[in-house]
Amino acid sequence: MTRRPPDRLTAFLWATGLGVFAFIYLPLVVVIVYAFHDSPIIAWPLRLGTTKWFVALAHDRGMIDAALASLKLALLTVMMSLLVGVPGAFVLDRFVFPGKAAFRRLVLLPLILPGIITGVALLTFFSFVGLSLSSGFPLVPGWPVVLGHAAAFSSVVITQVFARLQRLDRAQEEASQDLYANEWQTFWQVTFPSIRTAVLGAALLVFTLSLDEIAVTFFLIGRQNTLPLQIWGLLRRGITPEVNAASTVIFGISVAVIVIWARLMREEPQG
Amino acid sequence: MRPTCLDRVRGSRRLRTIVAAAVPVGFVTTLLFVPYALLLVHSFWRLSGGAITHEFTLDNYRRLFGTPLYPNTILFSAGIALRVTLVSLLLAYPLAYLLAFKVKRHRTLIYMAVIIPLWVSYLVRAYAWKIILGQEGILNGVLQAAGLIDQPLTFLLYSRWAVTLALIHIYTPFTLMPIYAVLDAIPPALKEASHDLYANRWQTFLRVILPLSLPGVLAGSTFAFVLSMGDFLAPQLLGGNDSALMVSNLVWSLFGVAYNWPLGAAVSVVMLALTISLLWLANLLERRMSYGGQAVGRAGGRVVGLAEGAK
Amino acid sequence: MAVDDLSLEIAAGEFLTLLGASGSGKTTTLRMIAGFEQPSAGEIRMGGSSISGLPPFKRDINTVFQHYALFPHMSVRENIGYGLRMRSVPKAEREERVRLALEMVKLGELGARAPRQLSGGQQQRVALARALVNRPRVLLLDEPLGALDLKLRKEMQLELKHLQTHLGITFIYVTHDQEEALTMSDRIVLLRQGRIAQFGTARDLYDRPASRYVADFIGETNLMAGVVVDGGPGPVTLQVGSERLRGRSDVALPPGSAAWLSVRPEAVRVDLGGTGSPEQNAIEGTVSDAVYSGALIRVHVSLPDDRRIIAQVPAGTTVQVGGRARVSWAPERARCVTD
């Protein structure tokens, strides 16, 4: 197709689009750039050229502990939400039972509702049940926050795996049984390889989301802060470039994880 | 409707299947259904003498609807959410259109680039505006350096504008995803057919593309609205003390310093009801205008949107 | 109800086809034999013993699926060897059998490929090999040739038939294509809305259809509605419009009842000149259409009382649209059928 000469409408479209793109990235760029700002006060003008804040970050005990707590929480959350979510997706896909429609809606709620509602709901639950917010410390950052994350993010796993299951060719499972594999063998030999990327993708997503989670975590956290909460605490007292340095690191890790996730999603077998 | 798995499974295998299904169902029920239900119950309890008593009362709701503060805050939040949604739409649509129709090479890469900020610390994106809008911040600095103003503008930060701006920034990529997904799904043949039948580009857009993209627009707007209305961080960080009080601030303080869980639960329940009604309404609307494919009806949230866009 | 009151006895080593329109219950029946659906009543027996209660993986039956259902994450070789692996066949024997199976379907060098790298026809052969390598007693084929183009389909039809004869395995084949059924089968079960319309050899169904539905479904035929005058068994006479026409029926038909005369186009003699003495079983008409199709010309003749007959003549014949034509047939070649 021959290219038509660019016209005003298309030019306007491109200008707007690029403008929006810049708008989306501006604050991030600001944060990253100011992580190298040579002054303890975040102000204009910018004086680039130091990495001392990253060094300070590496020695900040509070931050490091918070980062470790976040990591622990994220890993536990991934494990638990997979254990619940993958069978949950199968239940939604294969079974018919009374209340299934309600279950389906319920599963979506944490994804759709503002996090604060889920947070206070879980808080009232654990308070009612009598589970202390610091229970399990220091092994886990606190059982309520672990269970809360697992519950909220099992929705992510269920929706992702369910979507993949729906696209699965059921005839393959029948073929497997036709060829003498029982239900369990069929699952491992045929079904699981087909949903493997969806499961992995969901795991990565849950990992990132858990690391970044604030609303629910705020209400359920015990003695030990997670990284976002730690940063928030520092923010109350005014922003330091060290916080920017931490954010830059987080940004780098998140991007890496998302890129891996996108690669995974594209590689999955079609059909 | 497919026959249930259980029909085909016999005997002991049936038992094992039921047990395997009970785990996820039980977990979700206990840790999601019960807490939400419990929240509802709490909203009917009374706070007396600093402790929560288990007697049924409608006082919380009376107070909620009676005291101007609460309905006003909800309306205010809705107002902010509406502005955020509209502006996000205006910003997201052109970019989505560009991506879907004008970008040929590296489209997935660019799409990912647009979406990545969504997944990168929400906190960071919110507080970045503090740096930009502060009295000694970048915007003021640039404006002063350019000689446009003498004194730093103080109304920028800690105001409803800052909150609105930050929310627009956060939710524009969010609005973009379902719009892009829907636009991408429009078969090119439709556009060609429209041109074949003497419509120019503008008419084609108005009569063919826009109507077909409405389900995506609806989905994006609904989530942007719901989530910005209940947003937690932006008001906290950028709202200042009273100038931008939103619902989440209320809930936060009622469950925190103000310590009135039943009242906080009541506010939350109202929020929950509003959210669910909006979503249900959007679903209804979408079913009426859908020509195949359901953007809102499908599992909500950024998660599936990202999955679809990255396909 | 997909299948209603079906009873069949299938002989060992025969090529049996389940034929029918969509919704006739043929696929459901096949799946019940395979074990993917449960009959609500009744029993399935194989070799004298009941297999109704057995899950698919315990039945000595294998299936070739309509869209092949090859495992995308396994190579061709791994696909074919899957059943052997599940049955714990030792590795050396398994590899040898897979190799032989590949050769049997003429895909010898493609063992290491992935299914998506193969053409439709090749995938179909892999599906076949995957099933046959297990030496099942019965092989089920669910419209396996549907996705292939015409030429390939015809080739595969012959190949499958040869394969079946050579291996001696019972094949149960599902298709909606009656021509395919006629070509390949030893016997055909024609299903209609879950019930058997007729069960017999290809010749039985073609030459001696049991009902109007069968006559209409199998091959092409001219159907003329009429009333029984003289009902047989043997020669019958029908009042068709203003004519009295003769045919044959294997069963006795009560006089006065409604019936149809089924005459295949190849049995209709067309006299285009309008000359010749009036015969019995002849009707005068006008040529309304002459459709050329390579070896033949199909002549559409419109008859009085708004009826039509299709006959065929060799391609060289001169046919004039609008001209007069007299159609006739020998009584033995007109079957009398009821609904």
B69-116: pLDDT as tens digits: 888 889 999 999 999 999 999 999 999 999 998 888 888 888 888 888
Q: What is the dihedral of CA B86, B92, B93, B94, to 10 degrees?
A: 120
Dihedral sign computed on CA atoms, order B183, B125, B123, A243: positive
| Predicted local confidence at residue C142, as pLDDT | 93
- C155-195: per-residue pLDDT in tens? 999 999 999 999 999 999 999 999 999 999 999 999 999 99
Q: At CB < 8 Å, which residues of chain B contact C?
A: 7-8, 10
From chain C, the residues in CB contact with B17 under 8 A are: none
Amino acid at B247: V
What CA–CA distance (Å, rounded) separates B77 from B246? 5
CA neighbor of A127 nearest in space, from A138, A137, A135: A135
Q: Where does residue C48 rank: exposed (0-12), middle (13-18), buried (19+ CB within 10 A)?
A: exposed
Query: How many angstroms separate the CA of residue A138 from the nearest CA in chain B?
Result: 23
Mean pLDDT computed over every residue of chain B: 80
Cβ atoms of B155 and B93 within 8 Å: the answer is: no
Q: Find which of C71, C132, C142 to mutate to test the A interface (most A CBs within 10 Å of its CB).
A: C71
Of A40, A37, A62, A59, give the one whose Cα is nearest residue A50.
A37
* Element holding C46 (H helix, E strand): strand C45-46
- Chain B: closest CA distance from residue A57 (Å): 16
- Which chain C residues touch A171 with a CB distance below 8 Å? 65-67, 69
Whether the predicted pLDDT of A208 surpasses 90: no
Q: What percent of chain A has pLDDT over 70?
A: 94
- Under the banding of pLDDT at 50, 70 and 90, the label for residue B10 is low
Residues 247-306 of C with CB under 8 A from B: none
Residue of B nearest to C32 (CA): B8
Instruction: Report, as an integer, the average pLDDT of B135-148.
Output: 76
pTM for the complete prediction? 0.77
User: Six-digit token pair at C296?
Assistant: 């033949």
Rounded to whole angstroms, the Cα distance separating B227 from B214 reads 20
Contact C127, C160 (CB under 8 A): no
Kindly state the tokens that stand for C277: 């003495």
Angle at C76 between CA C73 and CA C78, to 5 degrees: 70
Residues of B in contact with C55 (CB under 8 A): 10
Residue C332 pLDDT grade (very low, low, confident, very high; cuts 50, 70, 90): confident
Q: Rg for chain C (alpha carbons), in Å?
A: 25
Instruction: Please name the residue of chain C whose CA is at the shortest distance from the CA of residue B7.
Output: C38
Q: Which residues of A touch B95 (CB under 8 A)?
A: 16-17, 20-21
Residues 73-112 of A with CB under 8 A from B: 83-85, 87-88, 90-91, 94-97, 103, 106-112
| Interface test with chain C among B8, B10, B13, by most C beta carbons within 10 Å | B8
Confidence of residue C276 (pLDDT cuts 50, 70, 90): low
For chain C, the maximum distance between any two Cα atoms, rounded to a whole number of angstroms, is: 78
Burial of C159 (0-12, 13-18, 19+ CB in 10 A): middle
- Residues of chain C with Cβ-Cβ distance to A267 below 8 Å are none
Query: Count of CB contacts below 8 A, A vs B?
Result: 268
Selected residue of B28, B53, B80, B302 to mutate for chain A interface (largest A Cβ count, 10 A): B28
**Cα distance between residue A3 and residue C275, in whole Å:** 71
List the end-to-end C-alpha distance of chain A, in Å, as a whole number: 31
pLDDT band at A243; cut points 50, 70, 90: confident
Picking from C1, C32, C38, C40 by the largest number of B CB atoms within 10 A of its own CB, the best residue to mutate is C38
In this prediction, residue A39 carries a pLDDT of 75
Q: Do C86 and A181 touch (CB under 8 A)?
A: yes
pLDDT digits (tens, 9 = 90+) for A32-61: 888 887 777 766 677 777 788 888 888 888
Q: Please state the rounded mean pLDDT for residues A235-246.
A: 78
Nearest CB to A116 within list B99, B172, B248: B248
With a cut of 70, say whether residue A268 has pLDDT above it: no
Residue A24's closest CA among B97, B225, B114, B179?
B114
Q: Report phi then psi at B48, rounded to 5.
A: -135, 130
**Number of helices (H) and strands (E), helices first, in chain B?**
16, 2
Which pLDDT belongs to residue A1? Answer: 44
pLDDT average, residue stretch B280-291: 79
Convert the pLDDT of each residue in B174-186 to its tens digit. Answer: 899 999 999 998 8
Determine, for residues B129 and A25 on separate chains, whether the beta-carbon distance falls below 8 Å.
no
Confidence of residue B59 (pLDDT cuts 50, 70, 90): confident
Given an 8 Å threshold on Cβ–Cβ distance, is B310 in contact with A259?
Answer: no
Q: What is the ipTM of this complex?
A: 0.82
How many angstroms away from the CA of A184 is the closest CA of chain B? 11
d(CA A188, CA A173): 11
Residue C305 carries which DSSP code? T
Task: Output the pLDDT for position C64.
Answer: 93
A151 touches chain B (CB under 8 A): yes
Under a CB-based contact definition with an 8 Å cutoff, are residues B300 and A108 in contact? yes
Helix pair angle (A8-34, B160-185), 10° resolution? 130
Helix (H) or strand (E) holding C16: strand C15-20
Place of tokens 């299936």: C63
Q: Tell me the per-residue pLDDT of B208-233, one tens digit each, with 9 for 90 and over.
A: 889 889 989 999 999 899 989 988 88
Q: What is the pLDDT of residue C324?
A: 87
- Measured between CA atoms, the residue of chain A closest to residue C63 is A178
Cis peptide before C314 (omega within 30 of 0): no
Mean pLDDT of chain C: 90
B294 pLDDT exceeds 70? no
Q: pLDDT per residue over C24-67, tens digit each?
A: 999 999 999 998 888 888 899 998 899 988 888 889 999 999 88
Cβ A95 vs Cβ B6: under 8 Å: yes
DSSP structural state of residue C232: -
Highest mean pLDDT among B84-98, B185-199, C282-296, C297-311: B84-98
Q: A residues 190-209 near C, CB within 8 Å? A: 190, 193-194
A178: tokens are: 């036709």
Query: What percent of chain B shows pLDDT beyond 70?
Result: 86
Partner-chain contact C36 A190, CB within 8 Å: no
Q: For B52, list phi and psi in degrees, rounded to 5.
A: -90, 120
Residue of chain A nearest C80, judged by CA positions = A179
Query: For residue C136, what is the nearest residue in chain A, using CA coordinates?
Result: A179
The pLDDT value recorded for residue B250 is 87
Q: Which pLDDT score is estimated for C277?
A: 58
Handedness of CA C325, C330, C333, C336 (dihedral sign): positive
Please check whether residue A235 touches B, CB under 8 A: yes
Q: How close C41 gets to chain B, by Cα (Å)?
A: 15
| B293/B213: higher pLDDT | B213
Residue A270: predicted pLDDT? 42
Instruction: Give me the total of CB pairs closer than 8 Å, taking one residue from chain B and one from chain C.
Output: 4
What secondary structure letter does DSSP report for C186? S
Strand, coil or helix: what is A7? coil
pLDDT at A231 over 90: no
Facing A24 at nearest CB: one of B24, B173, B275? B173
Using the predicted structure, report yes or no on whether residue B299 has a pLDDT greater than 80. no
Instruction: Kindly tell me the sign of the dihedral angle through the C-alpha atoms of A8, A14, A15, A20.
Output: positive
Segment B45-70 shows an average pLDDT of 81
Q: Give residue C280's pLDDT.
A: 67
User: How does residue B50 score in pLDDT terms, banded at 50, 70 and 90?
Assistant: low
Tokens of A194: 């087909």
Contact between B126 and B213 under an 8 Å Cβ cutoff? The reply is: no
- Token pair listed for B206: 């108005």
Task: Name the token pair of C32.
Answer: 């019940």
Distance CA C18, CA C6 (A): 12
Q: Pick the residue from chain B with its C-alpha nearest to A220.
A: B255
Pairing state of beta strands C234-240 and C222-230?
Answer: antiparallel
Q: CB-based contact (8 Å) between B13 and chain A?
A: yes
Pick the residue of C27, C28, C36 with the most A CBs within 10 A to test the interface with A by mutation.
C36
H or E element: which one contains B145? Answer: helix B138-145
- Asked if residue B304 has pLDDT above 90, the reply is no
Q: CA-CA distances (angstroms) from residue A207 to A253, A254, B265? A: 11, 10, 29
Residues 6 or more apart whose CB falls under 8 angstroms from that of B311 comprise A265
Distance CA A178, CA C59 (A): 8
Mean pLDDT confidence for B285-304: 52
Give the up-direction half-sphere exposure of residue C131: CA atoms within 13 A in the CB hemisphere. 32
Q: Write the DSSP symbol of residue C278.
A: P
Position B298 confidence tier, pLDDT thresholds 50, 70, 90: very low
Q: What local confidence, expressed as pLDDT, does residue B11 receive? A: 58
Interface of A with B in 114-133 (CB under 8 A): 114-118, 120-125, 128
Structure tokens that stand for A9 in this block: 């409408």
Is it the case that residue A27 has pLDDT exceeding 90? no
Whose CA is closest to B191, among A5, B291, A11, B183? B183
Number of helices (H) and strands (E) in chain C: give both, helices first: 8, 18
Distance CA C83, CA C297 (A): 51
Distance CA A151, CA A110 (A): 9
C79-125 pLDDT, tens digit per residue, is 999 999 888 899 999 999 999 999 999 998 899 999 989 998 999 99
The answer, for B258 touching chain A at a CB cutoff of 8 Å, is: no
Report how far residue C3's alpha carbon sits from residue B76's, in angstroms, rounded to the nearest whole number.
Answer: 63
CA B235, A253, A211: angle at the middle one, nearest 5?
50
Q: Which residues contact B236 (CB under 8 A, 6 or more apart)?
A: B248, B249, B252
Cβ-Cβ contacts under 8 Å, A175 against chain C? 63, 65, 69-71, 130
Please check whether residue B233 touches A, CB under 8 A. Answer: yes
pLDDT at B300 over 70: no
